Amino acid sequence: MSPLSDAAVDRLRMAVDWPELPSKRYIVTGEIGRGGMGTVYAAVDDTLGRDVAIKVLNAVEGVFAERRLEAEARVLAMLVHPGIVPVHHAGHLMVGRPIY
């Protein structure tokens, strides 16, 4: 058996990490950035026709990180400022990981 190329490994990693959203409203178009706790994806809100960002908890994180991401979404949803991205939705992926 031959080893997988770096490109093949990257494609497999993307397939595992790519969020499977619970509804067809949001269409994920790419990855914006990845941090210690979560990954932010570019998406399109198909209902309203606007670009959005979706933050997803990384798969390897635990219950503490889940609660922290949920609290982060609640706090951000209360803030209104031109320099802060508004939160329009919070929920969970099909596999249970929290998103906002």
What percentage of the chain has pLDDT greater than the value 90?
34
The three-point CA angle 81-86-88 to 5° equals 150
Q: What is the pLDDT of residue 15?
A: 62
pLDDT digits (tens, 9 = 90+) for 38-75: 889 999 999 999 999 999 888 766 788 889 989 999 99
Question: E strand or H helix at 89, and its extent?
Answer: none
Q: How many CA atoms does the CB half-sphere of 20 hold within 13 Å?
A: 6
Quick one: average pLDDT of 65-87?
91
Overall pTM surpassing 0.75 (yes/no): yes
At residue 10, the 3 state secondary structure works out as helix
Taking the C-alpha atoms of residue 32 and residue 6, their distance in angstroms, rounded to an integer, is 20
Q: What is the pLDDT of residue 64?
A: 87
First to last CA, the chain: 41
